Structure 1
Amino acid sequence: MSRPYIKRVTMFKVPKEEDIDAVIAKYGEMRSTAQKNGAPYIFSNEASRVLNSSEERAQGFTVIAITTFDSMEDVEYYDKECAAHKKLREFIATRRTGFATLHFASELPKRKA
């Protein structure tokens, strides 16, 4: 049996409407430029507006990103070494008032090689 994917869910509190669109666009840039050992390594990534951001249970979060990796090693690389992710973090840092990041092992089966 293959190991599960690792999913990273990050939510941001981005108060300005124009910044929400800019953050989502920057995720698109990161998605197309992130590499490890000269090759893409992120299995999938999507970023979007939180649809219920005005509800109490959304706790003020306005942007959500879900990134899927093949391994925790790739997650560690993303957090500590990935130049594209570093650029994204620097961009978002001045536009957010809060964030939360969680990781979990996906029960979806791995793709066949």
Structure 2
Amino acid sequence: MTADKRGPRIHRMTLFKIPDETNQKRLLDAYHVVAEEQKKLASQKDGKPYILQLTAGKTLPDQKARDYTVASYIEFASMDDMRYYDNECLAHAMLKEIGPSLNLSEPPTILCFEKSNLAAAQSEP
């Protein structure tokens, strides 16, 4: 995937420390809603999705996870699309609203970066 005329793609990882498995599932269910509802109004960007890729899941049990129990990864076509997600996306607003009820050990860790292809898997013929 390459950058388009709007600039480089933005990648965002969010890490959560949620001890309770029921609350982990509630957060993952909320991410499913974001995935389903992530279309902007037709008047904005012609109704095209602003999230290019979204994946979320429970972390694997490993001491390197440092007590993070849920991780999400979202790829945006541009910084503007990520700003929309942060400031205007109704599904993301709902996700943020349930946060306090999830008994987080601490606020989520959010990391954003521009893609730099360091290695790519080879496709078999």
Q: Normalising TM by the smaller chain, what interval?
A: 0.7 to 0.9
The one-letter amino acid of 1:66's match is: Y
Structure 1 ranges of 4+ moved more than 6 A: none
| 1:104 paired to 2:108 | no
Give the structure 2 partner of residue 111 of structure 1.
none
Higher RCO (CA-CA < 8 Å; seq separation 6+): 1
| 1:67 paired to 2:71 | no
The separation in 1 between residues aligned to 2:79 and 2:20, in whole angstroms, is 33
| 1:30 paired to 2:34 | yes
Q: Percent identity?
A: 31
Which deviations, in whole Å up to 9, do the C-alpha atoms of 1:44-74 show, x marking residues without a partner?
101000103x51x322110000000000011
Does structure 2 retain, via aligned residues, the 8 Å contact 1:4–1:107? no
| 1:91 paired to 2:95 | no
Does structure 2 retain, via aligned residues, the 8 Å contact 1:14–1:97? yes
| 1:13 paired to 2:21 | no
- Among 20, 44, 55, the residue aligned to 1:46: 55
Does structure 2 retain, via aligned residues, the 8 Å contact 1:49–1:64? yes
The separation in 1 between residues aligned to 2:72 and 2:50, in whole angstroms, is 17
**Structure 2 alignment gaps of length 5 or more:** 118-125
- Pair member with larger Rg: 2
What number of residue pairs does the alignment pair up? 106
CA displacement at 1:107 relative to structure 2: 2.6
CA displacement at 1:91 relative to structure 2: 1.4
The separation in 2 between residues aligned to 1:90 and 1:102, in whole angstroms, is 20
CA displacement at 1:16 relative to structure 2: 0.4
The one-letter amino acid of 1:45's match is: L
CA displacement at 1:37 relative to structure 2: 3.3
TM-score (norm 2): 0.77
Q: Matched residue of 2:54: which SS?
A: strand
TM-score (norm 1): 0.84
